[in-house]
Structure 1
Amino acid sequence: MPFRLGPLEIGLILVIILIVFGVGKLPQVGNALGKSIREFRKARSGEDEESKDKDKDVAKSAEAKPEKKA
């Protein structure tokens, strides 16, 4: 059975958030949440770039010919 949120459930969650944080702190909470999401996405994309760089390095080292030692 899939977990679904209808309009009634979303409204109830928003009312609970409003009660817990209050009207004055709600913009601050939203701002902090937005910053956290942006940082998470930035970190995640950074990890993707690092893994691509590592894959390129591994491919280059696999293509490199071994040096002959005298």
Structure 2
Amino acid sequence: MFAVVLVGGFGTRLRPLTNTVPKPMLPIGNTPMVVRLAERLAAGGGTDIVLALGFQPDAFRAAFPGDSLT
């Protein structure tokens, strides 16, 4: 299964938390929200997950250095 996850928003309603960290990278417990979502997608049969980057794309590239993020 192929999934596209929109992660390019500014997260304005969560400021000041999102001033330096994109909303999908905010932790729930110790795990970023986007990682939890990817785990759920994989558990449901997701094999290809695309993150539609926009705001602060370098934060995602730093968090997932070995993955192909564009």
TM-score by length of 2: 0.31
Question: Who wins on radius of gyration, i.e. which is larger?
Answer: 1
Higher helix share goes to which structure?
Answer: 1
Structure with the larger strand share: 2
- Normalising by structure 1, report the TM-score: 0.31
Structure of higher RCO (CA pairs closer than 8 Å, 6+ residues apart): 2
